[in-house]
């Protein structure tokens, strides 16, 4: 006997609930300072079989991507807004501060942003959207003469990840100083 439409929908709803519970448990682990995100341990915490976790997230990186998707969407929107800002340099500064704040608040997002070529289809698409918006922003900043002509969107991402690492491993009060140094380094030689 085949399941009816109601049973099929119930299974999908159950799968969605399990996925949400898995994500919630992973967020709680990260918030508690446990960055291991061992899928077996998460399955035990949630009270589901390991296979259930692996069906949703085949590996740790897939879980990190899912956790960071919302942050990525916010960052893409902020980059698009910065690209059409009246003053492109102010837009770039605002974008860098926004991105750094998100990276410092959300280690899983930082890990996905720092992983250059890795990722699933959704993260790859979000990174491509981010690159397009940052490229548009950099074109405006270049036209204003405020950034080196050789700087690309990926350079900005990598440098910002370096600033994030420096702030996390040192003095969080130095965040603004590090951002100022980054922006100064992006300027064309005088």
Cα–Cα distances (Å) from 174 to 143, 161, 163, 177, in that order, read: 30, 15, 10, 5
CB contact at 8 A, 99 and 75: yes
Between CA 34 and CA 159 the distance in angstroms is 26
How far, in Å, CA of 52 to CA of 93, rounded?
43
Answer whether 29's CB lies under 8 Å from 23's CB.
no
d(CA 26, CA 108): 10
**48 burial class (0-12, 13-18, 19+ CB within 10 angstroms)?**
middle
The count of residues in the chain is 190
Cβ neighbours of residue 17 under 8 Å, at least 6 residues apart?
Answer: none
CATH of 5-56, one of 1.10.3470, 1.10.10, 1.10.1060, 2.30.30: 1.10.10
Residues 6 or more apart from 41 whose CB is under 8 A from it? 29
pLDDT tens for the chain, residues 1 to 190: 444 444 444 558 888 899 999 999 998 888 787 878 899 999 999 999 999 999 999 998 888 888 888 788 899 999 999 999 999 999 999 999 999 999 998 877 888 888 766 667 777 888 888 999 999 999 999 999 999 999 999 999 999 999 999 998 887 789 999 999 999 999 999 8
Rounded to an integer, what distance in angstroms lies between the CA atom of residue 23 and that of residue 52?
12
Query: Which residues lie below 8 Å from residue 147, measured CB to CB, with a gap of 6+?
Result: 89, 92, 138, 141, 186, 187, 188
Residues 11, 24: Cα–Cα separation, whole Å = 20
3-state secondary structure of 131: helix
Per-residue pLDDT at 8: 44
Residue 181's SS3 state is helix
Under 8 Å between Cβ of 100 and 160: yes
Structural domain spans, the chain: 5-56, 67-186
CATH number of 67-186: 1.10.357.10
């Amino acid at each position: 006997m085949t399941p009816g439409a109601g049973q099929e929908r119930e299974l999908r709803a159950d799968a969605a609930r399990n996925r949400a519970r898995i994500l919630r448990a992973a967020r709680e682990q990260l918030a508690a300072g446990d960055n291991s995100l061992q899928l077996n341990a998460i399955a035990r915490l949630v009270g589901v079989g390991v296979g259930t976790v692996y069906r949703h997230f085949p590996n740790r990186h897939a879980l990190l991507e899912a956790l960071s998707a919302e942050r990525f969407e916010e960052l893409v929107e902020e980059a698009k807004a910065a690209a059409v800002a009246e003053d492109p340099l102010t837009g770039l500064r605002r974008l860098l501060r926004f991105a750094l704040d998100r990276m410092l608040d959300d280690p899983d997002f930082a890990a996905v942003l720092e992983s250059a070529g890795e990722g699933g289809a959704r993260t790859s698409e979000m990174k491509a959207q981010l690159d397009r918006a940052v490229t548009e922003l950099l074109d405006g900043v270049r036209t204003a003469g405020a950034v080196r002509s050789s700087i690309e969107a990926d350079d900005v991402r990598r440098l910002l990840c370096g600033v994030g690492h420096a702030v996390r491993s040192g003095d969080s009060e130095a965040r603004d100083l590090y951002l100022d140094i980054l922006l100064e380094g992006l300027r064309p030689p005088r």
